Chains A and B, each alone.
Chain A
Amino acid sequence: MTATIDSPRSGKISPQYRRTGGSKGNFEMLAWLFMRLSGIVLVVLIFGHLFVNLLVGEGIHAIDFGFVAGKWADPFWQIWDLAMLWLAMLHGTNGVRTIINDYAEKDSTRLALKIVLYAATTVIIVLGTLVIFTFNPCPVVDGVPLPGGFCPA
């Protein structure tokens, strides 16, 4: 007598062996894909950021309040920095999430570490986004411009 065993890719895989369709959906595949897509974009964004801020002109000596004000007066750099903030934070958070999953063996430890991680990520993304969009190159307190501002003369 002969037994017939289905080919592994015949589509008749028992539910417990399926790689998709479980309770987690395909979140892990999307996270894997996101790391690659965001990684390519981040190479361009971060190399451009480092080149413009550290290698052009006077390099790091040129960086002060006026330098940041000058960049964020231009929507091009606002969008550049916003994209860099979001992509880098989500890419880094997913990387650290992977590391927590790899090394923290107790469920409670993993949960605690991830709560700290996601809280930090949320604070940094919200803070950075607010700073980019509410930035004022010429801050004024009680009618008096703060010293060091980038006020038009």
Chain B
Amino acid sequence: MPTKPAGTLYRGREGMWSWVGHRITGVVIFFFLLVHVLDTSLVRVSPEAYTAVIGAYKNPLMALGETGLVAAIVFHAFNGLRIIAVDFWKKGAKYQRQMLWTVLALWVVVMVGFSIRHLSLALGGH
């Protein structure tokens, strides 16, 4: 029966999981960006085409999708700043774990604020 490999500096710990999260959120954001440039380009086709397609974003399901996308962007942004600190700050590697927990705490704060504002705008009224 193989035993679970022991954790190392990276494997199975904060360093590895933040790297996995950074990759996955990066790919998600990249594919959204391709679609987002295409949908915005419809302003060049006609005002009605743009307004019709952008109208598809304005429903409860998409409001949740947008919140998920922003969650991915905010994590990628804050963790990206952490990676820069690991690379350029003398004590970056030493404190990479504490910085990840700081990233996650800031991410929660920003996402609570964003979700309340965006979901109340997107789901309420109109």
Residue ranges of A at the interface with B (Cβ–Cβ < 8 Å): 36, 39-40, 42-43, 46-47, 50, 54-55, 58-61, 63-65, 68-69, 85, 88-89, 92-93, 95-96, 99, 120, 124, 127-128, 130-131, 134-135, 139, 146-150
Contact B122 A131 (CB under 8 A): no
When C-beta atoms are compared, the residue in chain A nearest to B58 turns out to be A60
CA distance A93 to B44 in the complex (A): 25
Is the C-beta of B109 less than 8 angstroms from some C-beta in chain A? no
Q: What 1/0 flags go to B27-39 for Cβ under 8 Å of A?
A: 1011001100110
CB contacts between A and B, total, < 8 Å: 108
Min distance, Cβ B65 to any Cβ of chain A, angstroms: 12
Residue ranges of B at the interface with A (Cβ–Cβ < 8 Å): 23, 26-27, 29-30, 33-34, 37-38, 40-41, 43-44, 46-48, 50-51, 54, 57-58, 63, 66, 70, 73, 77, 80-81, 83-84, 87-88, 114, 117-118, 121-122, 126
Main secondary structure of the interface of B (DSSP, over half): helix
Contact B117 A148 (CB under 8 A): no
Contact B114 A68 (CB under 8 A): no
Could you say which of A64, A85, A92, A135 contacts B44, with CB atoms under 8 Å apart? Answer: A135
Contact A64 B34 (CB under 8 A): no
CA distance A50 to B111 in the complex (A): 13
In the bound complex, residues from chain A placing their C-beta under 8 Å from that of B23 are 99
Contact A59 B121 (CB under 8 A): yes
Contact A92 B51 (CB under 8 A): no
Could you say which of B33, B44, B47 contacts A88, with CB atoms under 8 Å apart? Answer: B33
Could you say which of B38, B48, B70 contacts A148, with CB atoms under 8 Å apart? Answer: B48
Q: Given that A65-B51, A131-B40 are known contacts, is A43 also in contact with B80, CB under 8 Å in the complex?
A: yes
In the bound complex, residues from chain A placing their C-beta under 8 Å from that of B50 are 64-65, 68
Given contacts A59-B121, A150-B47, 13 further A-B contacts (CB under 8 A): A36-B88, A43-B77, A47-B77, A50-B70, A54-B114, A55-B114, A55-B118, A60-B57, A65-B51, A93-B30, A96-B27, A127-B37, A131-B41
Could you say which of A64, A92, A120 contacts B29, with CB atoms under 8 Å apart? Answer: A92
When C-beta atoms are compared, the residue in chain B nearest to A95 turns out to be B26
When C-beta atoms are compared, the residue in chain A nearest to B32 turns out to be A92
